[in-house]
Structure 1
Amino acid sequence: MSFEGRGGEMSADRKAWLGLALLACSPLTAGADLQDLAGAWAAYPEVDGRRATVGLKLDGNENGTLTATLVLPPIDAWNIPLGEARFENGRLMTALGEFAYDDTKDTLTGDLPAGLVPVHRIPIVLSRTERLAQPPESRKFGELVTPVWTFRTGAPVYGSPVIGKGTVYLGSDDGYLYSLESGTGDLQWKTATGGPIRARPTLGGGRIFVPSDDGRLYCLDQADGKIIWTTLTGTSPVPRSDPESEGYRYDHFSSAARVNDERVFVGTLDGDLVVLDRETGEENWRFKTGDAVVSTPALVGGKAVFGSFDNHVYALDAETGKLVWRFDTGAPVVSSPTIHDDRVIIGSRSYDLYGLQAADGSVDWRFYYWFSWVESSATLKDGIAYVGSSDSGMVFAIDAVTGREVWSFDTAGSPWGSPAVTDNRVYIGSVGVRGYFIPHEPGFYAIDRATGEPVWWYRVEHPESRTTAGFVSSPATDGKRVYVGGLDGMVYAFPTGVEKPR
C-alpha cells in the first residue's frame, strides 16, 4: 500500500502531488506551444530488472491549458486526475512533477516524485504513444466456492489462526482467544483477554502464547484455555493510531510470540523487543528501537531478527539482546522475517522485498514492488518464497536464492497476510477498501503453486456501511481445509480440494 489515508482516501502528502494543488508557473515561453504536448505519453522505468509502465495523458482545453491524467497499470490506477499543466522555461509543470521537454527527441524527462516512490530516486523519460495501457476487460479467479463451516466471533478478526491437534486457535478484536474443532468449527473453549488480539497464537509444549492489546502477553494451557501467567510487556492499552484520523499509519498488525526452549520473544507497539522466561513470564531483557515493532521475530544462528516502524531490520544476540547488526530500508518494516538457509527474507514499505545475509545484514538481492508497500511476510516451500503485497494486489512466487520472480497473481485487492502453502496450492486473502482511489476488492483465493494460475476463490460481500472488508488475517491449513479470519467477524474453513464444500 502506498497511498493510504483516512477512510480509504489518499493521505495528505499524496494529495499534494496528485493534482489537488498545482505548482504556480509563468506564462508560456516563446517558441513553445503547450498544445503541441497534448496527447498520450508513456515511460517504462526499471529497477533491479523489474520494469513498469507509467502513462501521462495531456488533454487540451479551450482556455489554452492542458489537463493531466496519470495512468499506473501496476496498481490498476487508470485515471488519476492531476489537474492543469503549465509550461515554463522549457519544462512541463504538473502535479506529478516537472519534466524537461526535448523538442529534438520529443520527450519529457524528470523524476518520479517521492510521494509516489519513496526512498529510491527513479528517473523517467516519457515518449509519445499511440495508446495508453488499458484496464483488463475481466479477471478470472477460478471456480467460486463456499465455506465448509463458519464460526462467528464478536468483532472483526485481524488475528491469524494456528492449528494444533485437530484444533484451530485464533483471536478476535472482541478480546477472546478461541479454540475451535477443526472439522466442524464447534467451540471448545474461549478465554477473555483485556483487549483485541491481532497476532497469530504460538503453540509450544502444551501452551499457547499470544499478545493482547491490553499490553500483556498471555500464556495459556492449550487443552482448556486456562491462563498460566500474563506479563505486561508495554503500554496498556496498546497505542495504535486511529483509522479515522489523517495520521493513521496502518499499524493494525501485532507481533506474534517466537518461542524457543527457554524464552519467548515478542515485539511491542512501544518499539521494544521483549524477551521473557518461557516458564514464568519474567522479563529477561528488552531492546528499544525507534518505533513500533509489529514484525514477528525470527531466530537464526543465535540471533533474533525483526523489523521496526523506524525503517530498520535488526539482528540481536538472542542471549543478551546486544545489537549485532541493523539494516536501514528507508521506510517502515511491518513484514516479518522468514529464514532460508542463512538468508533473511523481509519486506519494507520502501517497496522492496530483501534477501539479507543473516550473519551481517548485507544485501543478497532485492525485489522491487512497483508502487506498493510489502506488508506481507513470505512463506517458504521448496526454495520458493510466496509473498503478498498491498496496493499492487499481487502475490509473488520468488526464488529465495536469486530473488527472481517465478510467477505472479493479481488478487484485485490488498493481500496483506502471509500465504498458506501446500504441495499444490497457495492460499491468501485480500482486503477491499471502499472509496479508495484505485479499485480494491475483497476475496479469498486458491492459486496453483506450480503455475500461479487461479484454482478457486470466495467472493466477499462489501457492505455499504464498511470502509474495509475481506481478510487481513493470514490463513493456516492442515492439508484438508484452510482456515482464516474475516473482517466481518467470521472464522472460515474452506475446502482444499480433498473434500467438497457443503
Structure 2
Amino acid sequence: MKFTLASIFFYCLFLSAFAQVKPDFNTEPKVQWRFKTNAPIFSSPVISDGVAYFGGLDSTIYALDVRSGDVKWKIKTSGELRSNVAIEGDKLYLMGGNGLLSCLDKKTGKAFWRKVYDNNALYIGERRYDFADYFHSSPLIHNGVIYLGSSNNQVFALSADSGETLWSFQTNDIIHNKPIVVGDKLFIGSFDGHLYALHLKDGRLLWKFKSVGQQYFPKGEMQGSPAAGFGSVFIGSRDFNFYALNTETGQGNWNMKFPKGWAFAATVKDTVLFLGTAEDRLMLAIDARNGRELWKVDLKFHIFGQSEFSTSLVYVPTIWGKLYALDRKTGATKWTFTTDGYKSNHLKYFKSDDTYRDDIYTIFKSSLDLIKAEYSMGGIFSTPAIDNDMMVITTTEGIVYGLKR
C-alpha cells in the first residue's frame, strides 16, 4: 500500500513537472491566423485558458482565442496601452494610458473596479521620456497585492481585491519597468538612475543602487525590467552597463559594459541569464551565478523584448520584425520568422544581409523617421507567448500573429 501511494505521489510530481515544459518549435511555424488592429502594439500577449490578452496604441484591450484568432471581447479605454496585463484567477488587471488601473473579468471584460493612480498619466502616450521610452510599467500580482510603477515617479502597492492603496514610494523620475519580487523584497528601477529594494509589506526603502552614468546618459536611467536569481538582481541601464547586484545589500556582484548601447531584455531560465542588447545587437547567454559568458550571437537587430522558452530553444524578438529561434545551449539559429512588414519594407532600410543601407542617414533624418520605420517593419518589441502548439506575437504594424507548430 505504501509503495502504491508513493508511486502515485511521484507519478503526479512527474506529470506536474512535465506539464510545465513547453515542447520545441523545431521548424519555422506556419501562420495559422492574423488579427489586424488599428495601431502599433508594444504590449506582450498574456495567455490564460486558451485566450491571449494584450493592449495597443489604439487604446483598446483585446481578448483573442489562441487557436483561431477570433475576438472573445475587446474594450476601448483612453490613452495608449504600453504595458502588459496581469491575470490572477478570473481577474485581469490593466494599467491604462489614462492612469486608470482596471480590474476586469477576464471572461467578459466587465469591470469589477477602476481607480486612478497615475495623475500624470493623462498624457501617458505623450508623457514619454523620449522616443526610445517604449513601455510603461506592467502590474505584478503577488499574494493578493498589485505592485506597479507609474509616470508620476511612484511605486504603488494596491489591494488586488479592491484597488485600495496599501503603500506608495516616491522616486525622482518616471518608472516604466515591471517590478520583481524576491523573498520579502520588491525590486524596481527608475529613470532617476536608481534600482530600489523595497520591503513588500510597507514599502520602506531597504537599499538603493545608483548607476554610474554615461556621457550621453549621465543619469544612467534604469529602463530595463529587473530579473533575479542566485542571490543577484539584474538590471540594465542607459549608461551602457548591465548590473548584477547582491539582493541583500545592493553591492555589485559583477557587471557587463557594452561598447555601443543598452542591454535591457533580461530573463533568467534555470542557471542561465539570457540578455538581449540594443545597439550592440547581440543575444547573450550568461551564467547567472558568476557572470561568465556562455555564448553570444549577432542578430543584426536591436532587442527590447524579453525572450520566451521551450525545452531546448529560446525565442528572441527583434524590433525590425524578425523572430529568432536559437538553441539554448549553443546560440545556433534553428529558424527565423519575419513579419509582413519586414517582408514588404525590409529593403527600404536594409541590405539583403540585414545591415543598414549605405544611405540610411539620409532616410533617418529624425527620431520620427526612425519610429515610422519601426512601425512599418512590424517590429516585435514584445515577448512571444506559447500555448501548446501555438505561439502568439504582437507587432508594431498592428498585426497579431498566431503561429502553429
What's the TM-score, normalizing by structure 2? 0.80
For 2:125 and 2:51, the matched residues in 1 are separated by: 30
The answer as to whether partners of 1:427 and 1:445 remain within 8 angstroms in 2 is yes
Counterpart of 1:71 in structure 2 is none
The answer on whether the counterparts of 2:121 and 2:152 sit within 8 Å (CA) in structure 1 is no
Match of 1:419, as an amino acid?
S
Residue matched to 2:4: none
Matches within 5 A, 1:375-454: 375-376=264-265, 378-432=266-320, 442-454=321-333
Displacement after TM superposition at 1:281 (Å): 0.7
Distance in 2 between the 1:181 and 1:292 partners?
Answer: 34
Q: Name the residue aligned to 2:136.
A: 254
User: Match of 1:333, as an amino acid?
Assistant: M
> 1:240: how far off?
5.0
Distance 2:269 2:106 in 1: 28
Structure 2 CA distance for aligned equivalents of residues 480 and 360 of structure 1: 43
Aligned partner letter, 2:200: A
CA deviation profile, 1:225-278 (whole Å, cap 9, x unmatched)? 1111111111242445588xxx83522211110112231111112211111111
Match of 1:311 among 170, 190, 193: 193
Work out the CA distance in 1 between the residues paired with 2:125 and 2:248.
Answer: 33
Indicate how the Cα distance of structure 1 residues 453 and 178 shifts in structure 2: closer, same or farther if over 3 A, else same. Answer: same
Shift of 1:208: 0.8
Secondary structure at the counterpart of residue 461 of structure 1: helix
How far apart, CA to CA, are the structure 2 residues paired with 1:270 and 1:486? 28
User: Quick one: structure 1 residues 462 and 302, their matched pair in 2 at CA, closer, same or farther if it must change by over 3 Å?
Assistant: farther
Structure 1 counterpart of 2:365: none
- 1:467 equivalent in structure 2: 373
Aligned 8 A contact 1:372 1:391 in 2: yes
The alpha carbon displacement at 1:494 in A equals 2.5
Give 2:351's aligned residue: none
Q: Does 1:229 align with 2:113?
A: yes
1:365 corresponds to which of 254, 259, 284? 254
Does 1:484 pair with 2:393? Answer: yes
Distance 1:288 1:219, change over 3 A: same
Look up the match of 2:84. 200
8 Å CA contact 1:239, 1:270 repeated in 2: no
* Structure with higher RCO (Cα < 8 A, 6+ apart): 2
Cα deviation digits, residues 13-45 of structure 1 (max 9, x gap): xxxxxxxxxxxxxxxxxxxxxxxxxxxxxxxxx
Q: What is the letter of the counterpart of residue 224 of structure 2?
A: S
Amino acid at match of 2:185: K
Matched residue type, 1:450: K
Residues 458 and 363 (structure 1), Cα distance of their counterparts in 2 relative to 1, 3 Å cut: same
Partner Cα separation in structure 2 for residue 172 and residue 350 of structure 1: 29
8 Å CA contact 2:98, 2:124 repeated in 1 = no
Task: Give the partner amino acid of 2:142.
Answer: N
Q: Deviations over 1:324-351 (max 9, x none)?
A: 1000113111111112143212111122
- Amino acid in the other structure paired with 1:467: A
Which residue is equivalent to 1:130?
none
Q: Aligned equivalents of 2:27 and 2:183: distance in 1?
A: 44
User: What TM-score, normalized by structure 1, do the two folds share?
Assistant: 0.65
> Is 1:181–2:181 an aligned residue pair?
no
Alignment-derived partner of residue 6 in structure 1: none
Instruction: State the aligned residue count.
Output: 342
Shift, 1:461, TM fit: 3.2
- SS of residue matched to 2:318: strand
Higher normalized helix content (fraction of residues): 2
Q: Which runs of 5+ in 1 are unaligned?
A: 1-141, 433-441
From the superposition, tell whether residues 262 and 478 of structure 1 become closer, same or farther in structure 2 (CA, over 3 Å): same
Structure 2 CA distance for partners of 1:242 and 1:203, relative to 1, 3 Å: closer
**SS state at 1:415 partner:** coil
Please identify the structure whose Cα radius of gyration is greater.
1
TM superposition shift of 1:483? 1.6
Bigger shift: residues 145-154 or 248-257: 145-154
Match of 2:103 among 179, 195, 219: 219
Contact 1:241 1:248 in 2 (8 A): no
